[in-house]
């Protein structure tokens, strides 16, 4: 029995099943907080703990799924290509606003976490938290953070951003619909984009621009922003 529980086929099935259950749960309840990824992670951790399966076995077994993350980022090149016309038309506003958003995001998170006394591996883990999970995890790995922690924070705050994003922008008097759509993708990545998609396809497309462009900028700049901050801050 133990051999089956630790086998690759069992671990893969467990992961698929947990995600399927989590997805149907959200479809039925329509509660944004029951994000399928978060729920699936909780279900799997619960199962591993109850049946005393160690994380190493799980990691070995689920390697095949995790491997697909990198090809998935490559595949984002297709929507980026499809939005290229829109991006070119508004090149300067988009590039500048994304640059500001990217720098503001990384710097604010790093400074606040440092002020509150977080250790450096935590700070580096949450530094890329505004960008989409696969990119954020890669950035976290490059910086020396803890990618799984990054993933959880990204998903959690993506959900929070997608729920309160339009409220935050109403309070901060961002009235331009283009600015709203793009910011949703910049600050709340895929989850923000899917929220925008509910409003209209146009909003969704704008958000996907924000999510991809901020992803690229953060991947490029985060290591440099961190080493720049390192001049003043002793991590």
Partner 1 sequence: MKQVVIIMGCLLFGEFVVYLTGIKMPSSIIGMLLLTLSLEMGWIKLEWVKGISNFLTKNMAFFFVPPGVAIMLYLDLIKASFWPIIVASTLGTVIVFACTGWTHQLFIKHKKTFKKNKPS
Region 66-95 residues binding partner 1, contact defined as CB under 8 A: 66, 68-81, 84, 92-94
CB of 120 to partner 1, least distance (A): 11
Residues 189-228 that bind partner 1 (CB under 8 A): 190, 210, 215-216, 219-220, 223-224
Can residue 18 be called a binding residue for partner 1 (CB under 8 A)? yes
User: Nearest to residue 215, comparing CAs of 67, 33, 109, 74?
Assistant: 74
Cβ atoms of residues 141 and 121 within 8 Å: no
Which residues are CB-contacts of 221 (< 8 A; sequence separation ≥ 6)?
Answer: 102, 103, 106
- What is the DSSP-derived secondary structure letter of residue 23? H
Query: Of 70 and 200, which has the nearer Cβ to partner 1?
Result: 70
Least distance in angstroms from the C-beta of 2 to partner 1? 19
| 3-state DSSP assignment of residue 85 | helix
Question: With binding defined as CB under 8 A, does residue 62 bind partner 1?
Answer: yes
Cα–Cα separations (whole angstroms), residue 64 to 45, 134, 141, 155, 176: 18, 15, 19, 21, 43
Query: How many binding residues for partner 1 (CB under 8 A)?
Result: 102
| Minimum distance from residue 7 beta carbon to partner 1 (Å) | 15
Quote the distance between the C-alpha of residue 173 and its chain's center.
Answer: 26
Choose which of 31, 50, 116, 231 interacts with partner 1 (CB under 8 A). Answer: 116
Minimal distance in Å, beta carbon 68 to partner 1?
Answer: 5
- The correct pick among 13, 21, 45, 200 for binding partner 1 (CB under 8 A) is 45
Nearest approach, Cβ of 182 to partner 1 (angstroms)?
A: 6
The residue among 170 and 200 lying less far from partner 1, judged by its C-beta, is 170
Instruction: Transcribe 217-232 into DSSP letters.
Output: HHHHHHHHHHHHHTTT
Residues 129 to 188 in contact with partner 1, rule: CB under 8 A: 129-130, 132-135, 137-139, 141-142, 146-149, 151-153, 155-157, 160-161, 165, 168-169, 172, 174-176, 178-180, 182-183, 186-188
Q: If we measure between CA atoms, which residue out of 220, 190, 184 comes closest to residue 106?
A: 220
CA–CA distances in Å: residue 209 to residues 21, 79, 86, 161: 31, 9, 9, 17
């Amino acid at each position: 029995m133990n051999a089956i529980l630790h086998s690759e086929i069992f671990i893969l099935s467990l992961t698929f099943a947990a995600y399927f259950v989590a997805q149907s749960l959200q479809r039925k309840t329509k509660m944004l907080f029951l994000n399928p990824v978060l729920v699936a992670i909780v279900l799997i951790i619960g199962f591993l703990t109850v049946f005393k399966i160690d994380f190493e076995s799980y990691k070995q077994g689920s390697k095949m799924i995790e491997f697909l993350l990198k090809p998935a980022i490559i595949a984002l090149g297709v929507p980026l290509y499809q939005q290229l016309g829109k991006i070119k038309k508004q090149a300067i506003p988009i590039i500048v606003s994304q640059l500001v958003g990217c720098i503001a995001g990384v710097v604010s998170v790093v400074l606040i976490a440092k002020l509150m006394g977080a250790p450096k591996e935590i700070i580096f883990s949450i530094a890329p938290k505004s960008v989409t999970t696969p990119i954020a995890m890669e950035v976290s790995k490059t910086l020396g953070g803890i990618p799984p922690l990054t993933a959880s924070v990204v998903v959690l705050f993506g959900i929070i951003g997608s729920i309160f994003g339009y409220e935050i922008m109403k309070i901060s008097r961002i009235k331009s619909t283009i600015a709203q759509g793009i910011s949703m993708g910049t600050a709340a990545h895929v989850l923000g984009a899917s929220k925008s998609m509910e409003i209209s396809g146009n909003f969704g497309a704008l958000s996907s621009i924000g999510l991809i462009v901020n992803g690229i900028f953060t991947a490029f700049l985060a290591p440099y922003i961190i080493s720049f901050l390192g001049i003043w801050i002793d991590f």
